[in-house]
C-alpha cells in the first residue's frame, strides 16, 4: 500500500549546465540504469544532448508531441509532467503536489534533428532528479540510491525516486517491494540521507530512515516503512519535525502501528492486513486506545467509540494551574507574564514563548503518565528554567 502522508516546501535552484569537450565522434552511447539505449547522445558545440523521447521512456515516462505549440510533453508515473518548448526560453515542470519549477533554455536550448528532439544533459538531472555520470566514452543515467549492509552481508538498496527496495546477497539480487517516496524535486523537497533494515519476528522488513525536509523552515525528516517478505503492498509513513521527535513504531502483539504526519496504520505482521486511521500522530496504543497529537498537545482516541478525550482539559485542571502559579511565583520573577494568558497558550495559533506544555512519559497498567513542563525566568541571569509536575490519566475500562 503506497501512502504518502506528508507535503514539504522549497525553492528549486537551477544548476549550471554540463559541458564537456567533444570527442572525435559526434555521438556518445547512453546507459540508463546500466542498460544501453538504442539512440546515442549528440555532442554539439561541446555540449552533450540526449534523445528526449528515448531517455524519458527509458525512465518510465510517456511522451507526446504538441504540434500546435511546438512543444514536447512528458508525463511521469508520479503525476509530474513537463513542457519542453522548442522555441521558448523556459521549460516548465508541473509537480504533482509541489507546484511548478522552471528552467531557463537560453544558453543550452533543446533542438530537433531528423524528427527527434534533443535535450541538454543538465535538464535530466535538474528536472527529473537523476544522477548523470559522463566521460569521453559514454553517458550513464541513474536514480540516486541509498544502501544498507546488514550483519549477514546482505546489501539493501533503496531507489530514492521510485522507492524500489532490493536485496543483494550471495551474488543474487531480488526486489523486495516498492515504497511511496516523498518528492525530491520541485517546490517541495525531501531528502533521505540514510536508512536501516531489520527483520520482524514474522520475517518481514521494517525500515527506519532519516533525512532533511527543506521548505519555509528546515526540519528533520523521519521515515518508517513495513515491507512484506512475500512481496505486495508496503506501508510507508513520513513525519517532519523541527524540535520534537517523530512517533516510533509500536508493537501490540503481532500488530505493528506506524504513524506519520497525516495518518496512522496498523499492520498485521502475520497476515499483512492493513488498517488506516484518520488521526494525528500516534505516540502510544494498546490496540483500543491511541494517544495522538503533535508532540505536546495530546488527545486519547477510543477506536471502539471513535471519540476523542482532550488531555489538556483532563490534566491541566484549575487546581493544577493554581499550584503551578504559586510555585512559580515563589521560585522567581516571571516578568509579569504569570497570568491567565500563560495558560491560554494551550491550543492557540500564536502562543507566547515560552509556554507550558505536556510531555508523554509512559503507559503502565492502564494509566498514562505525563509531565507538565512550566518554563519560568529566575531573573538572576541563568535564563529559563522549567518546573515539572507529574500528571496521570486512567483509561476507561
* 120 and 133 share one domain: yes
Above 90 in pLDDT, residue 224? yes
- Quote the CA–CA distance of 262 and 5 in Å, as a whole number: 5
Domain final position from 260, 278, 296: 278
* 133 and 160 share one domain: no
* 137 and 38 share one domain: yes
| Residue 13: pLDDT band with limits 50, 70, 90 | very low
| Residue 12: pLDDT band with limits 50, 70, 90 | very low
Asked if 277 contacts 303 with a C-beta cutoff of 8 angstroms, the reply is yes
Domain final position from 235, 259, 278: 278
| CATH number for 57 | 3.30.457.10
* 127 and 237 share one domain: no
Asked if 154 contacts 174 with a C-beta cutoff of 8 angstroms, the reply is no
User: Would you say the pTM of this structure is higher than 0.95?
Assistant: no
* 161 and 97 share one domain: no
* 337 and 224 share one domain: no
pLDDT in tens, 95-148: 866 678 888 887 788 888 888 899 988 888 877 888 999 888 899 999 999 999
* 343 and 258 share one domain: no
Asked if 365 contacts 287 with a C-beta cutoff of 8 angstroms, the reply is no
* 106 and 125 share one domain: yes
Residue pointed to by grid coordinates 523537497: 189
Q: Closest by alpha carbon to 312, among 286, 366, 351?
A: 351
Asked if 263 contacts 277 with a C-beta cutoff of 8 angstroms, the reply is yes
Asked if 93 contacts 105 with a C-beta cutoff of 8 angstroms, the reply is no
* 239 and 328 share one domain: no
pLDDT in tens, 183-212: 887 667 889 999 999 999 999 999 999 999
Residues in the chain: 397
Please indicate, yes or no, if residue 133 is contained in any of the structural domains. Answer: yes
Asked if 207 contacts 224 with a C-beta cutoff of 8 angstroms, the reply is yes
| Count of the separate structural domains present in the chain | 3
Domain final position from 142, 172, 207: 142
Share of the chain above pLDDT 90, in %: 49
What residues make up the domain containing 154?
145-278
358 DSSP β-pair partners: 372
* 167 and 259 share one domain: yes
pLDDT of residue 24: 35
pLDDT of residue 153: 95
| Residue 77: pLDDT band with limits 50, 70, 90 | confident
pLDDT of residue 6: 33
- Quote the CA–CA distance of 106 and 263 in Å, as a whole number: 44
Average pLDDT over residues 355-383: 82
* 388 and 338 share one domain: yes
Average pLDDT over residues 162-170: 94
Asked if 138 contacts 28 with a C-beta cutoff of 8 angstroms, the reply is yes
Q: Provide the sign of the torsion angle of the four alpha carbons 324, 325, 329, 334, taken in this order.
A: positive
Cell reading at 125? 538531472
Amino acid at each position: 500500500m503506497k501512502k504518502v502522508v506528508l507535503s514539504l516546501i522549497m525553492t528549486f535552484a537551477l544548476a549550471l549546465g554540463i559541458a564537456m569537450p567533444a570527442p572525435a565522434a559526434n555521438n556518445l552511447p547512453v546507459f540508463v540504469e546500466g542498460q544501453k539505449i538504442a539512440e546515442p547522445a549528440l555532442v554539439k558545440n561541446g555540449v552533450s544532448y540526449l534523445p528526449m523521447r528515448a531517455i524519458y521512456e527509458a525512465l518510465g515516462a510517456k511522451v507526446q508531441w504538441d504540434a500546435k505549440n511546438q512543444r514536447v510533453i512528458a508525463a511521469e508515473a508520479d503525476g509530474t509532467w513537463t513542457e519542453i518548448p522548442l522555441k521558448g526560453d523556459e521549460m516548465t515542470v508541473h509537480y504533482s503536489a509541489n507546484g511548478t519549477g522552471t528552467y531557463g533554455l537560453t544558453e543550452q536550448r533543446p533542438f530537433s534533428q531528423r524528427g527527434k528532439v534533443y535535450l541538454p544533459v543538465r535538464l535530466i538531472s535538474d528536472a527529473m532528479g537523476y544522477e548523470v555520470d559522463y566521460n569521453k566514452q559514454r553517458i550513464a543515467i541513474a536514480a540516486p540510491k541509498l544502501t544498507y549492509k546488514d550483519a549477514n552481508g546482505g546489501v539493501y538498496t533503496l531507489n530514492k525516486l521510485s522507492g524500489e527496495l532490493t536485496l543483494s546477497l550471495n551474488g543474487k539480487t531480488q526486489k523486495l517491494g516498492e515504497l511511496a517516496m516523498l518528492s525530491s524535486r520541485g517546490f517541495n523537497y525531501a531528502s533521505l540521507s540514510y536508512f536501516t533494515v531489520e527483520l520482524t519476528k514474522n520475517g518481514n522488513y521494517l525500515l527506519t530512515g532519516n533525512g532533511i525536509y527543506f521548505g519555509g523552515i528546515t526540519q528533520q525528516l523521519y521515515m518508517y516503512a513495513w515491507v512484506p517478505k512475500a512481496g505486495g503492498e508496503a506501508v510507508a509513513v513520513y513525519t517532519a519535525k523541527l524540535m520534537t521527535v517523530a512517533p516510533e513504531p509500536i508493537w501490540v502483539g503481532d500488530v505493528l502501528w506506524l504513524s506519520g504526519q497525516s495518518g496512522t496504520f496498523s499492520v498485521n505482521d502475520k497476515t499483512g492486513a492493513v488498517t488506516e486511521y484518520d488521526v494525528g500522530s500516534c505516540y502510544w496504543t494498546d490496540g483500543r486506545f491511541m494517544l495522538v497529537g503533535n508532540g505536546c498537545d495530546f488527545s486519547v482516541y477510543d477506536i471502539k467509540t471513535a471519540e476523542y478525550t482532550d488531555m489538556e482539559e483532563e490534566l491541566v485542571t484549575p487546581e493544577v494551574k493554581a499550584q503551578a502559579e504559586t510555585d512559580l511565583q515563589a521560585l522567581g520573577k516571571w516578568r509579569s507574564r504569570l497570568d491567565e494568558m500563560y495558560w491560554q497558550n494551550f491550543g492557540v495559533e500564536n502562543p507566547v514563548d515560552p509556554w507550558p506544555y505536556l510531555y508523554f512519559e509512559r503507559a503502565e497498567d492502564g494509566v498514562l503518565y505525563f509531565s507538565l513542563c512550566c518554563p519560568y525566568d529566575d531573573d538572576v541571569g541563568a535564563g529559563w528554567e522549567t518546573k515539572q509536575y507529574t500528571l496521570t490519566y486512567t483509561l476507561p475500562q
